[in-house]
Chain A
Amino acid sequence: MNTVTITMVKQPQLFLEADLITPDQFAGKSIEAIGAIEISEGKIKYPLASFAKIEGVSGATAAETKIVLNGDLTRVKRIGQQMTAGEIIINSNVDMYTGGWMKGGKITVNGNADSFTGIAMAGGELTINGNCQNHVGSAYRGDWRGMTGGVLRVTGNVGNDIGTFMRGGTIIVGGDAFIHVHTHGEGGTIIVKGNIQARVGGQSVKGDIFVNGKIDFMMPGYKYVEDVEKDVDGVKAVYAHYVGDLGERHPEAKGQKVFTNLYLKK
């Protein structure tokens, strides 16, 4: 795998949109061609090179291309958007939409990421070694097809709307979540190792939610079934198993209603 290293040398006045920073776009391009890739600040389009130093070589395909981003990327949006393969490592905080609509490959953020991280993600691995804001692994507005695949891991805390309209894949949160976890979910798995204030699994149709900490306010629509032992992200523990949301529609499989499972660590 070849590596392209991008180091921010200049900060924008506003924010940069860098949806073309992906292995797919970089693959097979010379450093000059990569430097000419468009990023925009408001209505102005700049070549990437006007904000960053670019070194290394790209691979022939996305899968063979690794991008390392250094410097301060706090004001850069959309890195890794729609990527299908390869790898991105971001050694900084980063702004919104990181790994949005990604289909494959791997992104690691060594820092915090803002909102809409992994929005409508369909595959690959997205790891944030830090905190995230809201709408992690959520759907785009109005779309009933939210996250459908892949693994989205946040080691720190997250805000609201985690995995809204989720249909597949896994979200693992190391810290706490605020409110709305797996809202409108229709599949997939969410693991929150810390606490959640409220609204876990509201309007959820099916899927699995694991919570290792406390939920301050349970949804009334979740009903206790039994205690079960579960292996969650490699650790075995006993969980209280609830099903719900009893206020939501649920599909049937083999004559049985399928509910969302909420497992609360004992």
Chain B
Amino acid sequence: MTEYIIKNGCVIDPTQGINGQKMDICIKDGKIVDKVSNSAKVIDATGKTVMAGGVDIHSHVAGPKVDAGRLFRPEDKLFKSPNRKSNLRMEMGFSVPSVSKTGYDYARMGYGFVMEAAMPPLEAAHVHEEIRDTPIIDEAAMPVLGNNWFLLEYFKNHEIENAGAYASWILNATRGYALKCVNPGGTEAWGWGLNCITIHDKVPYFDITPAEIVKGLIETNEYLRLPHSIHVHANNLGNPGNYTTTLDTLKLVEGYKANNDFGREQVMHHTHLQFHCYGGDSFKSSSFESKSKEVMDYVNKQKGLTIDTGNVTLDETTTMTADGPFEYHLTHLNHLKWTNVDIELETAAGIVPFIYDPKTYIAGAQWAIGLELPLFAKDKDRCFITTDHPNAGPFWRYPRIYKWLLSANARNDLIKNELKYGDKVLDTTYIGELSDKEISLYELAQMTRSGVAKALGLSNLYGSLKTGMNANVAVYDIDPENLPSDPEQYETAFGNVFAFFKDGVLCIENHDIVNYSMPKKTVWVNSIVPENKQVERDIRDKFLHSYTVDLENYAVQEEHVHNPYAIKVDITE
């Protein structure tokens, strides 16, 4: 394999405490090495920033509901898709891009790994088919388990070992990565058109509460010693006044400790926190306000937590979540088309187009709340930037969010000039209080690289430029010694990486994608547990009586998993 040397760039790598030092990064045989021979190809990074490849902890990029979102929005493509570049596949779609556009755009931002945020186990094969067709980026997917009938029954009976045996079976069967929990109990209630709003609402028939489900999942996760913690989207998403539910949910981590060999410290990752930090009693009344400070005060104190933001980008987008009742609620607010898929014994999904219109007060406030979270975060290794793509905005807007965080001017300008109710937003959120706060490039690297990889238990694979790491390296047109005066340059630079290496292969050179056919990995967790006859019986029984597919056709067959990379976790050893 070719050797490369990225010369003279300003390296930012929080995993080594490197903050803008001029250094050369050497690449050989796909890895970062100490030195290379004279024949190495030189990438001149003088006056540029060099970081590890970005890591996305939560993005809906592959699978049934993403695809249903693509399918039911032809208007998301019309006059909104960029023209195909001669050497690439077509890139279709604005808010829910085609798989090609997904892979290319992540690469253009310098990202090498993306976690698909919700994989319904029954439809895992679909997720893997899309992963196969998505170029460049490594991917993993989290099976959705917060409303799974097996687990609801095991948790009700406090059978954590059984829950563990089942969850382990699911990870293996779906080639999944972590235990995802969406609107615990509420999505099962949605099977009857109902919901669970607080963490103490009983789930119909199963006679269990969201709080018990979340605690059960934490215990299961730590019993299995998994690389990632449980990954939670709490109850009551998107509703005014929901921050109390959020705090109640976050506090469930108290008393638990991370148990794993991957360097992960948290026991719960709470995703798209922006949607969960609302005060007030209705979208219609003026009581709607930010409670980000109240929530972040707790997050800052609690080492057992990590969060991602879910930043609103003020675009027309497509919301999609396993929170079925929420999407039903949303379609009543905006009267737009509504897709829903309830998935037998497991989960659900809803999809509704949505316009975050800067001319409305609510969208402005949501935008502000999303930015408050990282600005309030004390430990940038525990707070990650996402848009919950495509829920709060498309992922390819990340560079715009970076701009709003790196430059207070950019933020304040927008409040003044683009938000119709900027003054009201200043009154009802904390964004004014934070009006001179800015994050550094180093902090940005924590929030998009090192911290994320650590929270995912993937520090050995991603988010670092240490010698021996897989060579995912991004070079940006930003000179840390001479930061741009025009904040727009941040957006341009982070959206059009100067050079990008994926596993040591030069993918983007001089801003253009030159190679997108390098092998990409599907990362999954091969969890091994003691034999469990009871769970085996339970599985056979449910497939015999309740599922509509045969047990033997449920697990994703090896031939349908693209270039798998297994992380083995054996708790029997």
Contact = CB atoms under 8 A, between A and B. Distances in A.
CB atoms of A and B under 8 A apart anywhere in the complex?
yes
Interface string B66-79: 00000011111010
B336 interface: yes
B335 to A, nearest CB: 7
A249 B332 CA distance: 10
Contacts of B72: 142
A144 B337 contact: yes
A249 B336 CA distance: 12
B92 to A, nearest CB: 14
Contacts of B76: 142
Contact of B78 (A140, A144, A249): A140
Interface string A116-149: 0000000000000000000000001111100000
Nearest to A186: B335
B75 A142 contact: yes
B74 A140 contact: yes
B335 A141 contact: no
Contacts of B337: 142, 144
A147 B336 CA distance: 17
Contacts of B75: 140-143
Interface in A144-198: 144
Contacts of B336: 144
A142 B72 CA distance: 7
B467 to A, nearest CB: 50
A249 B73 contact: no
A25 B513 CA distance: 32
A142 B94 CA distance: 14
A140 B335 CA distance: 18
B422 to A, nearest CB: 26
Most buried by B among A140, A141, A142: A142
Contacts of A141: 74-75
A249 B333 CA distance: 12
A249 B335 contact: yes
B91 to A, nearest CB: 18
Nearest to A141: B74
A161 to B, nearest CB: 15
Nearest to A101: B79
A184 to B, nearest CB: 11
A25 to B, nearest CB: 16
Contacts of A144: 336-337
A257 to B, nearest CB: 15
A156 B177 CA distance: 62
A143 B76 CA distance: 9
A148 to B, nearest CB: 14
Contacts of A143: 74-75, 78
A80 to B, nearest CB: 16
B335 A142 contact: no
A74 B555 CA distance: 55
B193 to A, nearest CB: 18
A140 B75 CA distance: 7
Contacts of B73: 142
Contacts of A142: 72-76, 337
Interface string A241-262: 0000000010000000000000
A245 to B, nearest CB: 15
B77 to A, nearest CB: 9
A140 B78 CA distance: 9
A141 B335 CA distance: 17
Contacts of B335: 249
A249 B337 CA distance: 13
Contacts of B78: 140, 143
Nearest to B332: A249
Interface string B54-90: 0000000000000000001111101000000000000
B320 to A, nearest CB: 16
Nearest to A249: B335
Contacts of A249: 335
A184 B284 CA distance: 26
A143 B336 CA distance: 10
A249 B338 CA distance: 15
B44 to A, nearest CB: 38
Interface in A76-131: none
A141 B73 CA distance: 8
Contacts of A140: 74-75, 78
A175 to B, nearest CB: 30
B224 to A, nearest CB: 43
A10 B74 CA distance: 34
Nearest to B73: A142
A140 B74 CA distance: 8
Interface string A47-90: 00000000000000000000000000000000000000000000
A104 B337 CA distance: 29
A141 B75 CA distance: 7
A142 B73 CA distance: 6
Interface string B240-252: 0000000000000
B352 to A, nearest CB: 12
A159 to B, nearest CB: 21
A143 B73 CA distance: 8
B528 to A, nearest CB: 46
Nearest to B334: A144
Nearest to A205: B335
A140 B73 CA distance: 11
Interface string B34-61: 0000000000000000000000000000
Nearest to B72: A142
A141 B337 CA distance: 12
A164 B346 CA distance: 38
B223 to A, nearest CB: 46
A90 to B, nearest CB: 23
A97 to B, nearest CB: 12
A142 B316 CA distance: 14
Interface in A203-248: none
A144 B336 CA distance: 8
A143 B316 CA distance: 12
Nearest to B336: A144
A224 B111 CA distance: 62
B296 to A, nearest CB: 37
A249 B334 CA distance: 12
B354 to A, nearest CB: 12
Nearest to A139: B75
Interface string B325-340: 0000000000111000
B542 to A, nearest CB: 38
B318 to A, nearest CB: 11
Nearest to A143: B75
A142 B338 CA distance: 12
A45 to B, nearest CB: 13
A254 B74 CA distance: 36
Nearest to B75: A143
B226 to A, nearest CB: 40
A147 to B, nearest CB: 14
A142 B353 CA distance: 11
B74 to A, nearest CB: 4
8 contacts: A140-B74, A141-B74, A141-B75, A142-B73, A142-B74, A142-B76, A144-B337, A249-B335
- Of all A-B residue pairs in the complex, the 8 with the closest CB atoms, nearest first, are A143-B75, A142-B74, A141-B74, A142-B75, A140-B78, A142-B73, A140-B75, A144-B336
Interface of B: 72-76, 78, 335-337
Given A140-B75, A140-B78, A249-B335, 13 more contacts: A140-B74, A141-B74, A141-B75, A142-B73, A142-B74, A142-B75, A142-B76, A142-B337, A143-B74, A143-B75, A143-B78, A144-B336, A144-B337
